[in-house]
């Protein structure tokens, strides 16, 4: 299977959309470095991808699928901070802006992004939903309950961000699910 096949995942190629999605996911430089670009074979009989490349490839596949609901489990964990900010801006906050995004992460840079409008904090015995519009945003890397924070702007209510999910499947499948 090629890198392109992995992103298309059986969908027909729309060259414009494909180019936009791979650019937003920070894959263009990787394609240039690969011997056959996005036609490079990957998997058991092909090239080996780094953790960051795998994460960005998966994110590009999610974008290309045009799903209404996108669930991302730590998609930026294996990606350096500079590329992470670019992907947040170009992909998650722009391409996926009209989608419902559930993002599972422990990364305070992601949690404190301006597009975050709702946090669902899951501990062993509790679920706490915080509508960011009604609260003060904490500074980066600070506790979420910090009252000395800056005022919030309005956020797109379709983007849902989750924090610290230990068992996402049980939460999403529970009949009284909050997400």
> What DSSP string runs through 150-162?
BPP----TTEEEE
Taking phi over 0 as left and psi of -120 to 50 as alpha, with beta for the rest, 74 belongs to left
11-60 pLDDT, tens per residue?
A: 999 999 999 999 999 999 999 999 899 999 988 777 789 888 999 999 99
Alpha carbon separation from 144 to 19, 59, 136, 154 (Å, rounded): 37, 27, 9, 18
Q: Is pLDDT at 105 greater than 70 in this prediction?
A: yes
Higher pLDDT, 44 or 82: 82
Element counts in the chain: helices (H) and strands (E): 7, 5
Query: Which is it for strands 159-163 and 127-131: parallel, antiparallel or unpaired?
Result: unpaired
């Amino acid at each position: 299977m090629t890198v392109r096949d992995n992103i298309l995942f059986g969908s027909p190629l729309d060259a414009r959309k494909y180019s936009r999605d791979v650019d937003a996911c920070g894959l263009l430089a990787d394609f240039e470095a690969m011997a056959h670009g996005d036609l490079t074979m990957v998997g058991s009989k092909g090239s080996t991808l780094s953790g960051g490349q795998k994460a960005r490839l998966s994110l590009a596949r999610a974008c290309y699928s045009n799903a209404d609901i996108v669930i991302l489990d730590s998609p930026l964990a294996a990606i350096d901070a500079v590329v992470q900010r670019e992907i947040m801006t170009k992909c998650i906050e722009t391409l996926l802006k009209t989608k419902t995004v559930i993002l599972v992460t422990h990364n305070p840079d992601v949690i404190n992004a301006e597009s975050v409008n709702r946090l669902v904090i899951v501990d062993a015995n509790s679920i706490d939903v915080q509508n960011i519009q009604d609260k003060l945003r904490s500074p980066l890397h600070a506790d979420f309950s910090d009252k000395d924070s800056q005022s919030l702007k309005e956020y797109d209510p379709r983007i849902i961000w989750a924090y610290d999910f230990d068992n996402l499947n049980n939460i999403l499948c529970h009949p009284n699910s909050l997400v």
